[in-house]
Amino acid sequence: MINKTVRNVSEALEGAHDGMTFMLGGFGLSGIPENAISELVRLNLKNLTCISNNAGVDDFGLGLLLQKKQIDKMVSSYVGENAEFERQMLSGELEVELTPQGTLAAKCQAAQQGFPAIYTPAGYGTEVAMGKETREFNGKMYVLEEAYKADFAFVKAWKGDKAGNLIFKGTARNFNPVMCGAATITVAEVEELVEPGELDPNQIHIPGIFVQRIFQGKNYEKRIEQRTVRQKETL
């Protein structure tokens, strides 16, 4: 049986170096690969391009890499709650490629499925389409968007087995699944690592063919980006 497990996050990131392009799953702070991000901070890699829906918050998630000026370029759909992200973008310190959220997901999925590009109607007639090929289909205009090219994809799953099969839980099933297999090396960190055969095949979201390395993560904080609560009712 194929065994894709590595002992720890350090071994999982073996081969990562300055100047690489990384995909990182998650939406806000939901389902982000916390262990992989912490290791990237520890390694102090520089000149990185990061493809992620957003960049976490100032003191958590990808915000930690921004604080240390490790990221040269962010490819995201929005700035989110990260004031440092906004500051670096407006000052010109950080190159930012803002992409419609659905296009971001579709470009990851195209890379995952081996397609070099897709046509999408999103962004036609706006700055998003500047310099890109456009084409009409059935009376509607579309923009040609090239699939992403990344060296590593870092994803976070709830459960996984040693063959790399993954199950995501709740809202962590966001950008994580489409980033699996969309890079040269996909690294999956999981909360629970089990033996092959222990997962119900009908519950598996991503088959192991899309994963090269898997390890059991630890010390997950699972911080909430914005907590909205109802006022306590008084009798």
Q: Report pLDDT digits (tens) over 124-177.
A: 999 999 999 999 999 999 999 999 999 999 999 999 999 999 999 999 999 999
Output the pLDDT for position 235. 63
Q: Which residues of the chain have pLDDT under 50?
A: none
Query: What is the distance between the alpha carbons of residues 98 and 85, in angstroms, rounded to a whole number?
Result: 12
3-class secondary structure, 138: coil
Output the pLDDT for position 143. 98
Q: How many residues does the chain have?
A: 235
Please enumerate in sequence order all residues whose Cβ is within 8 A of that of 19, keeping only pairs 6 or more positions apart, or say none. 46, 47, 48
What does the longest C-alpha to C-alpha distance in the chain come to?
A: 63
Output the pLDDT for position 213. 98
List the chain domain ranges.
Answer: 9-113+148-194+203-216
Output the pLDDT for position 25. 97
CATH number corresponding to 9-113+148-194+203-216: 3.40.1080.10
Output the pLDDT for position 223. 81
